[in-house]
Amino acid sequence: MCIPCLLKLLPQKKTLLFHLRPPDIDLATLIDKLQKNADKVEKNIIETEQNLNRVSTERLYLWITNQSQRVSHSSCLPTNKHVNAPSKIMRQLRVRVTKLREEHDHIYHITRSEQVPTVNWGKIVDEKLANVNNKGYGQDLLTVENEVEEHNIFHSEVEALDGLDGQQAKYNKLLASSSARQKNLLSLRDYMQRCTNELYWMEQQAEERSAYDWSDNNLDYPARKRQYENFISKCLEAKEKSITQLNEDGEELIEQNHPGKNVIGAHMDAVHADWKEYLNLLICEENHLKNMDDYHKFHKDARDTSDLLKRLETEISQKYNPEFKDMYQMEGLIADLNDQAKAMDHFDERLKALQKRSLQVLPLKYRRETPQKLLPIEALCEYETEGSILRGERYTLLRNNGSKWDMKDANGRTMSVPAVCFIIPPTDPEAVAVADNLINQHKGIKQKVASSKSALQAQLAELKKESTGDKQEQQCRQLMAGLDKVVGDLDKQEKAIYSRVRPPLEQTRPVQDSADRLQDIKDIAAAVRKIEPEKSSKVQEAESFLRSSPKCASAPQLYSKVDEANKKYNKVDLLLKCADDKLQNSYRLENSLQNGKALLSSYENKLAREEVAPSDSTSLEKTQRELAVSLVIHATLTLNKKKSTLSYVFRLRRRGTSVWSWRRTIMLCCNSRKYSRERKCVKKLCEPKKFKSSETQRPRWTL
């Protein structure tokens, strides 16, 4: 066989490789082609080996010589490289063919000389048992979760070994050990997960309180106070029970000699430490809220007092001017000034109380900026850091870093601690300055009252000396002065009524505020009733004088004064009735809202504990009926059910409340012809989604 024939193998291999690549050939077709090409290669290899055995060295040499001679007669001159090329190709080809032959025999003519392998199941069971007994449980939640996953696979392998002959006792021991480890891992993971959840929650609470602004800049502290009071009254007890249950479960696992008892104990200690720190933070929060409330209330009362003193000063300057006044008007003004002087004496007590409060106000401004000098600070709770912080101890503030303060103790040791754990004790220089300014302002007004009284008395004495006019004219002017005093007293009561009715109720205490205003209106009504006899007496005297002396020069003015006094009294009396009616309705409404909220709170808490609404229509209708009954009871507590219910809805809307159940309940309450208009109003206001009883999935409660 000639060398060109032997080289046929190379194109065949390329053909094989070419057929391996087409991307669009079906898998079965591709496998068939591969098999055919492989058979062809195998056949060529066998034929090539047989031909190689028949080719002798002499014939090969003659063939090479012949080829060399042919090359020498060609146009290209022969070289040693061209002569030696066929021999080199033959050697490479023979090595390659020999290698292919060996691989072919290994694949297609292999003979198994060894015996069928056997498995030592006893050894495998012993190894797995040793693995179970020597495995640890991990120190953190991630490791324990990995152990759980690995052991689930291991336990499946153990269960697959069931039914071994002669190894049943060992297998039962292995299965029991694996099951026990699986149970211990699951209980450990669940306990660690519960501890981790509580630790994460307490960490978030601590970070939130540390980052909160407890300075004077924060004007939204009432919302924080309501949130705190709501948590203390409704959630703290449940959270404490959860922590206590976690501790009891940990102790029970330790008593059962759980293999991971060291990890369980460490988590119990961590939860206990964080819970103690959280309770300390609650103490700090309560103190901060009280201090902020005292600070802002003091400054509000100081501003109100300052405004009152300014109005009083303006009134004294304008009203008690002796110019263009007759002696009877001056006598009335002097009597008013005497009353003002008595009121100013009572005002002293209010200013003294403010001054006393100013000494207890904390300098909250320094919580947001570093003071120019070192200030003492007081610890509100115990705290463990680089050193121990003791409650009630005094330290020195070095630098205000926002949520962290740099401070040093009595021994000179510096520490960086959360600012929420400390207060800057009184006094506040600004609060003291405000109180001092009010006292000085009050003294100035008292001096002004005294000087105005002196001026009026001096002018009155001059007028009395000069008075030689008609007695009827003097009597007429005296009657006009008396009516002016009555009108002035009624005007004061009118202003007092407006001051009680016009301002909105305090959102934090609407029921108590409306009750206080009702009491104020009653006091004003009592004062008006005391003025009424004086008004009637002055009016009768004036009318009698006008009948007896109709031609007096000042008679027209006296007529107008009488008419003014009657109109002013009627106006104040009507205003009192309207104010009382408005405040009575407001009190009933706010009281009804509060009672309704209390009645619905149990259902709201029940809905909050449920993740989804009832899945069947029967349970859903039952829940709706319960909610409807509660709201109907709430509505009957009011004087006007229609107004109260709609007012409740509007309040919920303004506050952003979107409880799914309340929308349904209100619609049920208005589900009658009597309240068709109200139902349309509620429907438009609440925009409830349409409900289909055939739905299998219910919407989640929106809280």
595 and 557 both lie in a single domain? yes
In this structure, are 137 and 244 located in the same domain?
yes
Q: Is omega for the bond preceding 427 within 30 degrees of 0, making it cis?
A: yes
Question: Do 357 and 281 belong to one domain?
Answer: no
- Collapse the DSSP code of 568 into the 3-class scheme (helix H, G, I; strand E, B; otherwise coil) and give the result: helix
Q: How far apart are CA 553 and CA 545, in angstroms?
A: 13
Which of 451, 461, 481, 494 is CA-nearest to residue 320? 451
Q: How many structural domains comprise the chain?
A: 4
Distance of CA 509 to the CA centre of its chain: 23
- CB 649, CB 685: distance < 8 Å: yes
Q: What gap in Å lies between CA 58 and CA 45, rounded to an integer? A: 23
Q: What are the tokens at 401? A: 């870093």
* Residue 368 identity (one-letter amino acid): R
Instruction: Provide the sign of the torsion angle of the four alpha carbons 432, 438, 444, 450, taken in this order.
Output: negative
Token pair, residue 376, equals 């003492």
User: Closest by alpha carbon to 436, among 342, 340, 357?
Assistant: 357
Do 556 and 536 form a contact (C-beta atoms < 8 A)? no
**Helix, strand or coil, per DSSP, at residue 384:** strand
- The verdict on 448 and 498 lying in the same domain is no
- Tell me the sheet residues that pair with 423: 378
CA-wise closest residue to 657 among 578, 619, 588, 601: 601
Residue 19 lies in a domain: no
Q: Do residues 138 and 255 both lie within one domain?
A: yes
Across the chain, which distance is largest between two alpha carbons, in Å? 176
Q: Are residues 536 and 454 in the same domain?
A: no
Kindly state whether residue 49 falls inside one of the protein's structural domains.
yes
What pLDDT is attached to residue 346?
76
Instruction: Please report, in angstroms and rounded to a whole number, the separation of the first and last CA atoms in the chain.
Output: 94
- Quote the domain boundaries for residue 192: 121-285
Q: Is residue 9 part of a domain?
A: no
Q: Rg (Cα) of the chain, in Å, rounded? A: 51
**Is the sign of the CA dihedral 391, 395, 400, 405 positive or negative?**
negative
CB 634 within 8 Å of CB 652: no
In a domain, 620, yes or no: yes
152 and 180 part of one domain = yes
If asked whether residues 451 and 574 sit together in one domain, one would say: no
Q: Where are the alpha helices (DSSP H) in 503-554?
A: 510-548
* pLDDT attached to residue 284: 95
pLDDT for res 10: 39
In contact, 411 and 344? CB cutoff 8 Å: no
Q: Which H/E stretch holds residue 417?
A: strand 414-418
Where among 61, 89, 109 does a domain terminate? 109
How much of the chain is helix, strand and coil, in % rounded to 5? 75, 5, 20
Residues 435 and 322 in one domain: yes
- Decide which of 251, 269, 285 is a domain's last residue: 285
The span from the CA of 644 to the CA of 540, in Å, is 47
Residue 640 confidence (pLDDT): 45
Q: Which segments in the chain show pLDDT lower than 50?
A: 1-25, 56-58, 67-68, 71-83, 637-675, 677-703
455 lies in the same domain as 582: no
Alpha-carbon span 209 to 216, nearest angstrom: 16
Residue 22 within any structural domain of the chain: no
**Cα gap 338→329, rounded to integer Å:** 14
Regarding whether 480 and 429 lie in a shared domain, the answer is no
Here the CATH number for the domain that contains residue 520 is: 1.20.58.60
Cα gap 612→120, rounded to integer Å: 56
Instruction: Write down the pLDDT at residue 20.
Output: 36
Identify whether 217 is part of a domain: yes
Helix (H) or strand (E) holding 687: none
| Within a domain: 20 | no
The neighbour count for residue 690, using CB atoms within 10 Å, is 4
Among the listed residues 593, 589, 619, the one whose alpha carbon sits nearest the alpha carbon of residue 606: 619
551 and 644 belong to one structural domain: yes
Tokens of 175: 């299965």
3-state secondary structure of 682: helix
Q: Quick check: helix, strand or coil at residue 590? A: helix
Question: Could you tell me the pTM of the whole model?
Answer: 0.58
pLDDT of residue 298: 94
Alpha carbon distance 318, 312 (integer Å):
10
In single-letter form, the type of residue at position 142 comes to: L
CA 568 – CA 487 distance, rounded (Å): 7
| CB-CB contact of 138 with 144 (8 Å) | yes
Residue after which a domain boundary falls, among 232, 255, 285: 285
Here the CATH number for the domain that contains residue 314 is 2.30.30.40
Q: Does residue 11 form part of some domain?
A: no
